[in-house]
Amino acid sequence: MENLFIPKTNKTPEVNFQLDGSMTMTGVSIPENVLSFYQPIIDWLQNFESENLNSVCLTLTLDYLNTSSLRILLDILEIIDNYKNKGATIKFIWKYEADDDDLLELGQDIELSGRIKFEYETY
């Protein structure tokens, strides 16, 4: 298994998932075909579960995402959160611009819809 890197486009975020558990998604997420973009990420995460999981930190710096991307993001967060069942320590970081209340609220809404908790950081 190798690290996963997908470069950012004007419609998709940069994805940088490392085998050491350091994972980032940065940019906007408005792909024309959400499943074709996100399926390789989900596949990688499902394969990653068989690795020696110690700790995982997912940092999300998403400037904008559409509804379809949000649904898939919730699936991704659940997959990673389930790594706890294998003994991994999980940390989710939601980064947003200091004056962007909408993105802060989106992170808070995601927390309410699932079992995950974010640490919030401004930039």
Query: What domain range is 68 assigned to?
Result: 54-123
Give a yes or no: residue 12 inside a domain. no
Tell me if the pTM is above 0.75. Answer: yes
Give a yes or no: residue 14 inside a domain. no
Domain count, the chain: 1
Give a yes or no: residue 122 inside a domain. yes
Token pair 């408005």 in the structure block, residue: 30
Strands (E), the chain: 4-6, 14-17, 22-29, 55-65, 89-96, 118-122
The answer to whether the Cα torsion of 77, 107, 88, 28 is positive or negative is: positive
pLDDT tens track, the chain, 123 positions: 999 999 999 999 999 999 999 999 999 999 999 999 999 999 999 999 888 789 999 999 999 999 999 999 999 999 999 999 989 999 999 999 999 999 999 999 999 987 799 999 999
Give a yes or no: residue 16 inside a domain. no
Give a yes or no: residue 28 inside a domain. no
Cβ contacts of residue 31 below 8 Å, gap of 6+?
11, 12, 37, 38, 69
Give a yes or no: residue 112 inside a domain. yes
